[in-house]
Structure 1
Amino acid sequence: MKYQAVVFDLFGTLVDQFYKAEHESLLSEMAMALAAPQRDFAYQWVGTYDQRATGAFPSLEANIEQICRSLHVNVKAAQISEAARRMLDFTRQTLLPRPDAVETLAELRVLGYKIGLISNCSSVVPDLWRETPSWALLKLACMRSSFEHPTKMPMLRVMRNGTGLRFQH
């Protein structure tokens, strides 16, 4: 059987996993920008991941604002913007392609394979991923995001609908 496409996950495949200590440090910085209790903010941030990954929040800022409301922390728009900026900067850094990723994607394209990307992620990841060098090499923009496909992996239905290909596993 000749394969027609290669579908990648994102984290740990095309980009490295981020380290827990770095993420915890980021959450502390976000909490400080919001004048929120660091431990409580981090707990709620982690606790709202499934909501972020399935489109419950219309934006990163809405998620931050909801956490602040639940913590009874009054924040200004500038504080929310600063916390969101820190998260976006961190996420942008985590999306740097692994050294072999661009070369691998380019080679697969030369060999005639369609390429797709499906990953559990928050809504900010697809937009930031589109800024990376690897994005141009993806023939199928099959990235699962909060706004596009509110479901989490495994999601064979999303792969079928997004590619038009028949999948076997």
Structure 2
Amino acid sequence: MSFQAVVFDLHGTLIEDLLTARRDDLLAQMAATLSVPADDFAAAWQQTGKRRTDGGFDTVEECVVHICQALNARPDAERIEAAVELRIGYIRSRLRPRHDAVETLTRLRSLGLQIASISDCGLEVPMVWFETPFAPLIDAPLFSSREGLRKPAPALYLRACERLGVEPVDCLYVGDGNSRGLRGARDVGMTTVLVAVPGAMRYDDGQFEAAEWPGPRIAALKEIIDLVN
């Protein structure tokens, strides 16, 4: 089948998943900076997950202040800014491409394919996106916190197609199976492939579909080249 575009998931596909242990360390550091109990802060942060991912906060600062108020804490602006910088720095450090991601994206572009990415994420990812190697390689990056939609909402995939100027049937979607992303892409008419890198750490959000996925699978991003040729 001939494709005009490839649409990628981000976390667990183009980059490694955000590991739970490192995330917990970060939250403890943020809590210490804000002088609030670490366990309470971590629990409150997790409770805001859907709102952060859906774009319910206009800034990261707003989220931090919201949590502090819920914990009856009133840190000064300097502490809030320091906690925000910890979070942004963590996300910046995690947006490192898999070893074959840049090579694969570059090759796809050389073949004339357009590229989009769809990520369920907070505001920190789009804030630092243009610092990453992905920025010049991905034509249409979509972030749930900016779009107000999360996978597997059909409108999110259709929005990616609209920005690329293609139809879903002309797209190959590549994802690791989290957030029901593969099913969402398939339901709008995209061809889908699961990337399951051996030994990769995975963050399961409760909607992980890899084990039951009946469609094609690859073990490395570079295998996509054979699928589109």
* TM-score, normalised by the number of residues in structure 2: 0.70
How far 1:3 sits from its partner (Å)? 1.1
5+ residue gaps, structure 1: none
Residues 43-122 of structure 1 aligned to structure 2 (within 5 Å): 43-122=43-122
Give the strand-richer structure, 1 or 2.
Answer: 2
Aligned-partner SS, 1:146: helix
User: What amino acid is aligned across from residue 99 of structure 1 in structure 2?
Assistant: H
Aligned-partner SS, 1:118: strand
Aligned residue in 1 for 2:216: none
Farther-moved stretch of structure 1 (35-44 vs 1-10): 1-10
After superposition, give the CA deviation of every residue in 1:7-39 in whole Å (9 maximum; x if it has no partner): 001001111112111110000000000000100
User: What amino acid is aligned across from residue 26 of structure 1 in structure 2?
Assistant: L
Taking the aligned partners of 1:73 and 1:95, their CA distance within structure 2 comes to 31
After superposition, give the CA deviation of every residue in 1:103-140 in whole Å (9 maximum; x if it has no partner): 0000000111110000100012012122111211112x
User: Any runs of at least 4 consecutive aligned residues in structure 1 with deviations exceeding 2 A, and if so which?
Assistant: 161-165
Taking the aligned partners of 1:132 and 1:99, their CA distance within structure 2 comes to 14
**Would you say the 8 A contact 1:10–1:117 is kept in 2?**
yes
Aligned residue in 2 for 1:123: 123
Q: Say whether residues 1:163 and 2:164 are aligned partners.
A: no
Aligned-partner SS, 1:106: helix
Note the aligned Cα RMSD (angstroms): 1.1
Taking the aligned partners of 1:135 and 1:22, their CA distance within structure 2 comes to 25
User: What amino acid is aligned across from residue 50 of structure 1 in structure 2?
Assistant: K
Query: Equivalent pairs: percent with the same residue?
Result: 37
Q: Say whether residues 1:150 and 2:160 are aligned partners.
A: no
5+ residue gaps, structure 2: 169-188, 191-229
* TM-score, normalised by the number of residues in structure 1: 0.94
**Would you say the 8 A contact 2:144–2:150 is kept in 1?**
no
Aligned-partner SS, 2:79: helix
